[in-house]
Amino acid sequence: MERKNCPYAVMLSGKLDKDMIWEMVKRNIIQISSYKDILCCSVGGVKKGAFTEEVAEQRFEAWLKNKKSAIDAEKAKVSAAKDAAAKKRLEEETEKNKAKAEVVAAKKAAEAAAKAEAEAAAKAEEEANAVAEAPASESAE
């Protein structure tokens, strides 16, 4: 299956188109430099006399400030989502641990009750044997 819209498919098929490769490289450079604030403001308006260099610098500083605040807001949003997910997982795990603890406690209580019952039965049997031996020893005298 060949992807016609994917530029990498052209490269992988052996058909190297220099213009397409240059477009991919240029697009990636622009994206990276724009994100990292390397891409400077356009000075075309200054060259044409539409505004002064100070105005261009002010506009660039405002754009840079807005971009940084948007990036910081996105980072805060992502970290808040991670914190909320971790808190939710912790609560779910705590509930599961409580349920397991209740099951273990019930099992131990049942084992303790069975052991106490077995000890009581052994003691009652021992007393019954002692009572049965006592009349036998009294009649032997």
What pLDDT, in 10s, does the model give residues 72-95?
999 999 999 999 999 999 999 999
**For residue 2, pLDDT beyond 50:** no
Task: Name the more confident of 29 and 103.
Answer: 103
- Cβ atoms 97, 67 nearer than 8 A: no
* AA letter at 45: G
Count CA atoms closer than 13 A to 34's CA, side-chain side.
7
> Which pLDDT score is estimated for 1?
43
Cα–Cα distance, 85 to 111 (Å, whole number): 39
Task: Name the more confident of 110 and 6.
Answer: 110
- 34-43's contacts with Cβ under 8 Å and 24+ in sequence apart are 37/64, 37/67, 37/68
Residue 17 sits at φ, ψ, to 5 deg, of -105, 115
Banded model confidence at residue 40, pLDDT cuts 50, 70, 90: low
Could you report how far apart the first and last alpha carbons of the chain are, in Å?
Answer: 107
Which residues, 6 or more positions from 56, have their beta carbon under 8 angstroms from its beta carbon? 41, 42, 43, 45, 46
Structure tokens at 28: 């990636």
Closest C-alpha among 10, 12, 11, 7 to residue 27: 7
